């Protein structure tokens, strides 16, 4: 759910190319190469927390785009990268290498706030998720513009001026997306009474957006398609009850991770012959009629956790298999 790795790699190349606008870098091949290595490493470093997926989804959800995208990390990543480079790379202008590596790290964190997932970029001052919801995690227009820029380099275009032009176009594209978002919110407020919050989730299709809308007592799940607002689902808001089963479920690691991340969800609590099941469904992510980001916990009659899962899933059958495989 982050800006895709491929785009971040291309942004590293773009920033390394922009650095050539500095004559000191443009006329020093060794320095230019070191800066490019720094921008490529810096454009990837904050996403090192993706490795947490190897542990479990709960750790990943709780921590991805958290501390690795925080203010201290933006400062420390460039120092770490340049420190490693100085140990293995010949002498060069390390201040310029550090500066462009810092720009790459900061730019990575900056662009990640523009999709629906967001980051905790203001840690340690706040753990609030900043998610502006104006571009998809993979935006084909941004990706293709970077590819065109690299194509220009291969044809002999000036790297700095080429990507300066590309980024002016991308900046204009972001302004357009913010205007689209503002028009969508205006349409929603004119259609639904008493709206208190609108979460926009862009898709990779420029004219299609998913929406999670809150009023004082209801949730609406909707879609914008070619300028039309389509209401897909409508749910009554229900606060989490002070109930022994719910209280036990909230202590589960997967459920706690889900609740720490999801700003808009509905819950269900079901009783069966030999167990209870509690399900939490994030209303932001609806695909082909199925809500793909969930947390589910099963408890026995003594309220011991038997099985649980959180993450992105695209069928009920697959979810059941995950619960069967989850450790007791």
pLDDT in tens, 106-157: 999 999 999 888 888 888 898 888 899 999 989 999 999 999 999 999 999 9
3-state secondary structure of 319: helix
Q: How far apart are CA 271 and CA 227, in angstroms?
A: 43
User: What element of type H or E holds 72?
Assistant: helix 71-88
Q: How far apart are CA 292 and CA 210, in angstroms?
A: 13
Q: How far apart are CA 249 and CA 226, in angstroms?
A: 41
Token pair of 71 as six digits: 């203010």
Token pair of 138 as six digits: 């993979």
In the prediction, which pLDDT does 55 show? 66
Lowest mean pLDDT: which of 25-39, 124-138, 200-214?
124-138
> Is 202 in contact with 224 (CB distance < 8 Å)?
no
pLDDT digits 0-9 by tens, 262-312:
999 999 999 998 899 999 999 999 988 889 999 999 999 999 999 999 988
What is the pTM (predicted TM-score) of this model?
0.88
pLDDT digits 0-9 by tens, 169-196:
999 999 999 999 999 999 999 999 999 9
In the prediction, which pLDDT does 325 show? 58
Q: What dihedral angle (degrees, nearest 10) is formed by the CA atoms of 134, 179, 214, 204? A: -30
Class of residue 63 by CB neighbours under 10 A (exposed 0-12, middle 13-18, buried 19+): middle
């Amino acid at each position: 759910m982050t800006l895709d790795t491929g785009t971040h790699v291309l942004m590293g190349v773009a920033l390394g190319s922009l650095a050539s606008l500095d004559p000191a870098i443009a006329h020093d091949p060794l320095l230019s190469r070191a800066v490019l290595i720094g921008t490529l490493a810096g454009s990837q470093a904050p996403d090192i927390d993706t490795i947490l997926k190897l542990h479990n989804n709960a750790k990943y959800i709780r921590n991805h785009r958290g501390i690795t995208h925080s203010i201290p990390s933006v400062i420390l990543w460039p120092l770490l990268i340049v420190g490693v480079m100085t140990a293995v790379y010949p002498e060069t202008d390390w201040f310029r290498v550090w500066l462009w590596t810092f720009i790459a790290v900061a730019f990575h964190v900056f662009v990640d706030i523009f999709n629906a997932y967001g980051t905790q970029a203001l840690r340690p001052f706040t753990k609030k998720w900043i998610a502006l919801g104006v571009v998809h995690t993979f935006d084909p227009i941004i990706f293709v513009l970077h590819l065109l820029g690299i194509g220009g380099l291969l044809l002999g275009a000036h790297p700095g001026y080429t990507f300066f032009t590309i980024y002016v176009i991308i900046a204009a594209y972001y302004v357009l997306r913010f205007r689209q978002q503002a028009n969508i919110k205006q349409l929603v407020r004119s259609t639904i009474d008493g709206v208190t919050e609108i979460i926009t989730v862009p898709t990779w299709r420029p004219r299609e957006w998913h929406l999670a809308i809150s009023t004082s007592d209801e949730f609406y799940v909707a879609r914008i398609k070619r300028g039309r607002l389509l209401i897909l689902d409508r749910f009554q808001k229900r606060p989490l009850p002070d109930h022994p089963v719910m209280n036990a479920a909230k202590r589960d690691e997967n459920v706690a991770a889900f609740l720490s991340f999801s700003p808009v969800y509905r819950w269900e609590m079901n009783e069966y012959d030999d167990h209870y099941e509690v399900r939490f469904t994030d209303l932001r992510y609806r695909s082909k009629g199925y809500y793909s980001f969930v947390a589910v916990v099963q408890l026995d009659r003594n309220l011991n956790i038997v099985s649980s899962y959180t993450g992105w899933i695209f069928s009920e059958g697959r979810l059941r298999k995950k619960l069967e495989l989850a450790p007791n």
